Amino acid sequence: MLELKDISYRIQKDNEEVALIDSASFRAHSGHFMAIVGPSGCGKTTLLKIIAGLYVESEGNIYWNGRDLSEEGDLEPSEIGYVPQFSIAYDHLTVEESVESSVKLRVKTRKRSEFHDLVDRVLEDTGLDAIRNRPVRVLSGGQKRRLSLAMELVTDPVLLLCDEVTSGLDPKSEREIVHLMHHLSTQHNRLVINVTHSLSHLDLYDSIMVLHEGKIAYHGQPRALDHYFSVEEAEEVYPRLAKRSSGEWQQSWLKHQPEYYSALDSASRVTRKEGEEEEQAPDETTSAVTPGFFAQFFALLFRRFKIFYRDGGNLFLQMAMLVGFPVLVIIFAIDGIDQIKRLPDSIMDNPLEEALQQQEIFQNHLKTGGLVSGLVMFQVILLTLMGSNNSAREIAGERMIYEKEKLGGLRPLSYLFSKLAFLGILVAVQSVWMAVFVQNICHIPVPNFVALLALLVLVNAAMTAICLGISALSKTPEQASLLSVYLVGFQLPLSGAVLALPGFAEWITRPFISAYWAWSGSMTSLDSLYLNAVKKVTDTSLEQPGICLLVLVAHFLIGLFLAYVGVKKTRWD
């Protein structure tokens, strides 16, 4: 049995304390189907999130089978199912693959047959077996709600919380979903609580709770609702609520609560004896075992690659950048890189010829140095752009799905490392291809190509990691994309490769500009003659490759730290 005693939840708004939930107390037996209804903004979703453990109550206690969850810890992830308003499935997966993914992340199975049996049972229980091979993106609203329920049922939760799962559905689909939730409450003595704005199909619920401005105005059988509010139809309840203050409704309910709870208890489908046995032996319930770190890691990694290959638009963009960006670099060196000219000894006795030759050599050095510097910087900037594209939306774009999976037992480190593995492969392919392809065509004069390759890989990895951190900390994917674009946009002007910055500005901005370190390290790894030519076209100071590599590694680690902080932080709103 679930019992709430004097639960309050307060927030600070405009320097004032506002109670979103005020002294809410109720109880609901296992095997019970309950609705929480009320006008918009009355606190329905807030109350559900308090029960789910997403919000921490300001006051009061929550009990499950006599256990104080406020003191003894929340229910295990496998014991509770939470179905949010938003979709918790990926559009590029099928119905069956979505349920399989949920099983892999939440249930440790011993055999493949046990795994497939669980998937088949859940699909059959939710009426999805006939469309198991259909992609999520083509499902109707009602089918997506069924899928959301199916993905929560893989652990056989004893408490299933549903937030507005019928909103936006046509009447037929809404009734089907309510019927399904009613059926689910009869399985495994499960308590199902549904938050809804709709006052249709109330006859299918065992009890109805009415909230008004964060206070409970009623909780009892559906057939007693009209009598309590003195209305002829349930649709008249909301207008009726507005005629009295929430405090008056709360006082009225506290006065009549014992009478209505007596009727509710006697009509419960769970007998008193069964309820007592359940409360006396709550530990007998077998909970699903959450898979380990590596099982979750590989499940996430394989799922990410599957989504990547099926996302035609993103795959085309990746291929276009992979092929197009190196070609853009080569276009600027279509005639090749000139050899560095030297003053010949044979004309040293002729001052005029020597002056003309020196002028020609100087022009050669300017042209060659500018070309080499520009080619390397162009590669660096394009790789930072690739890095931004790799990860700017990687976490922010699926934040709500991640939060839901984390609530279900997903380890943040499993999630983060799966992202690093996926992005690491992208970085390696992009950087190595860029470096090798351009080098084979342009022949940039570096005695040690491995050093250049390492710098290009690291600048891509550093920007990918930093943008991943931005993605993990951002509230929306749009915000993450915008910040990442700004970050890449400042790389070229603040690198000093085109125009040297004032001395004081260099030391302020330089530590944060990945492009500078990749370009500087590449320049100092050039043949000495070409390095001298480069120095003739830039006043920016250059650092040794070893220092540049260390700074880029530091950028990468800072990005990982930001990403870790972001994935650990809960962000439901």
**Model confidence over 458-481: pLDDT tens digits?**
999 999 999 999 999 999 999 999
Least confident interval from 70-74, 171-175, 220-224: 70-74
What's the pLDDT at 537? 78
Would you state the pLDDT for residue 283? 41
pLDDT in tens, 160-202: 999 999 888 888 999 999 999 999 998 878 999 999 988 888 9
Q: How far is CA 553 from CA 63, 76, 421, 545, in A?
A: 49, 39, 17, 12
Question: Could you tell me how many residues make up the chain?
Answer: 573
Min mean pLDDT across 180-189, 212-221, 397-406 is at 180-189
Return the residue matching tokens 């939060």. Answer: 403
Predicted TM-score (pTM) of this structure: 0.90
Reply yes or no on whether the pLDDT at 400 is more than 70: yes
> Which residue in 134, 105, 3, 22 sits closest to 64, CA to CA?
3
User: What's residue 143's pLDDT?
Assistant: 94
Q: Is the pLDDT of residue 414 over 90?
A: yes
Whose CA is closest to 512, among 454, 479, 465, 552? 552
Percent of the chain with pLDDT over 90: 67
Residue 335 scores a pLDDT above 90: no
Q: What is the pLDDT of residues 93-147, one digit of tens each?
A: 999 999 999 999 999 999 999 999 999 999 999 999 999 999 999 999 999 999 9
**396-435 in b/e burial notation, b at 16+ Cβ within 10 A?**
bbbbbebbbbbbbbbbbebbbbbbbebbbebbeebbeebb
Is residue 267 pLDDT above 50, yes or no? yes
Average pLDDT, the chain: 89
Six-digit token string for 15:
């320097």
pLDDT for 201 equals 87
Q: Could you tell me where the DSSP H helices lie in 186-311?
A: 225-229, 237-241, 246-266, 272-280, 293-310
What is the spatial distance between Cα 213 and Cα 408, in angstroms, rounded to a whole number?
A: 30
Q: What is the pLDDT of residue 487?
A: 94
